[in-house]
Amino acid sequence: MAQGNNYGQSSNGVADESPNMLVYRKMEDVIARMQDEKNGIPIRTVKSFLSKIPSVFSGSDIVQWLTKNLSIEDPAVYLCKRTMQNKARLELADYEAESLARLQRAFARKWEFIFMQAEAQAKVDKKRDKIERKILDSQERAFWDVHRPVPGCVNTTEVDIKKSSRMRNPHKTRKSVYGLQNDIRSHSPTHMPVPETKPPTEDELQQEIKHWQMQLDRHRLKMSKVAESLLAYTEQYLEYDPFLVPPDPSNPWISDDTTFWELEASKEPGQQRVKRWGFGMDEALKDPVGREQFLKFLESEFSSENLRFWLAVEDLKKRPIREVPARVQEIWQEFLAPGAPSAINLDSKSYDKTTQNVKDPGRYTFEDAQEHIYKLMKSDSYPRFIRSSAYQELLQAKKKLENTLDRRTSFEKFTRNVGRNIPIFPCHKNCTPTLRASTNLL
């Protein structure tokens, strides 16, 4: 009895469209093209010393044929084009950069041709409409995300998801070769029956949806960006680390000299302290002199109430608990009450929340209002303070003063060393008193 060919079909006669069968069909198609007499892999007879080996082809023949006929360099063209577009959303991920480097090594001889192809495609993309270009970029990105997935993810074009899930959950029932239901657990005599899992309820599904929505909305940074930020931060604060750059006059953590700390706490800041105010608003607010200069600048712009409110709330957090209710009312009457003498500008949401908090006063009653004012100063007042002539003149004045002191200190050290190295000769008895005194001075 002839056996029917059920390859690629399920038990009910319907064509199997699982990822595995799709891959098998692709492989069959490639093999059929390889066996083509005209355009396939060249098959020849190899002569040895005493015999002939018919129908021979080498591995290099296969590689050349695949490179020529299957457009293997397409991923390289796509990644190379991504590097030309210079957009944050199209920036290569770490694994894509590694793939590009690997492809560049593999196609070293053809890389100029691949680069020309990518350059031509990038020029064509620039001529398209902006919306059309975004759509095409998204489609192309989705295509390669499926066919070249992130390392560690399942490639759905090569692995059957159902088969993978069965491997992860081996206790599920499966079909036997006879078409009957077989329970894998029945083969184990010591197996205890496991209760069937119940389908999730509607509330559980809603919670799971909220969880994954929060995961999607989370702000994520690539490791390379984090490393770049850390390096930039380290380089910026390098001169302020007494263990990496020796401070002047000495390191108080090593010596017993506290002059360095006294200079840091003095009301006459040096050039380094003034420069540090420009790193961020927190640096200016931490320094008492910087805070005072920032307040003077705000007074010149008639917006000092913002900083005074922020400082009052910071002071409130440090007050004893018995003083908090009275201090909350004072801050409310000065900055937030209707007709307040130093009214601040709040959005309706923060104002309503603060109004409710004042009814039950505490150290963090004005937390929302303080955060709103902080963001307002950071985005508006602080950049103008750094660009202001007052800050720039102060920075330049401190820089000139320190240069003068450095030159004076260097000259004093030079004269001291010169005086130490010049020998003192005894004067002749006939020399004048002035000459004798100058000689002794040296």
Beta bridge partners of 46: 53
DSSP string of 359-399, one letter each residue: TS--TTTTHHHHHHHHHHIIIIIHHHHHHSHHHHHHHHHHH
pLDDT tens figures, 121-180: 888 888 888 888 888 888 877 777 777 777 766 665 555 555 555 555 544 444 444 444
What confidence score (pLDDT) does residue 199 get? 86
* Beta carbons of 442 and 422 less than 8 angstroms apart: yes
CB 131 within 8 A of CB 141: no
Amino acid 320: pLDDT: 92
The whole-number pLDDT of residue 89 equals 54
What pTM, to 2 d.p., does this model score? 0.46
Question: Residues in the chain with pLDDT < 70?
Answer: 1-20, 67, 70-73, 86-90, 152-196, 398-442
Tell me, what's the pLDDT at 219?
74
What pLDDT was estimated at residue 437? 44
pLDDT of res. 175: 44
In 3-state terms, what secondary structure has residue 323?
helix
Determine the pLDDT at residue 171: 46
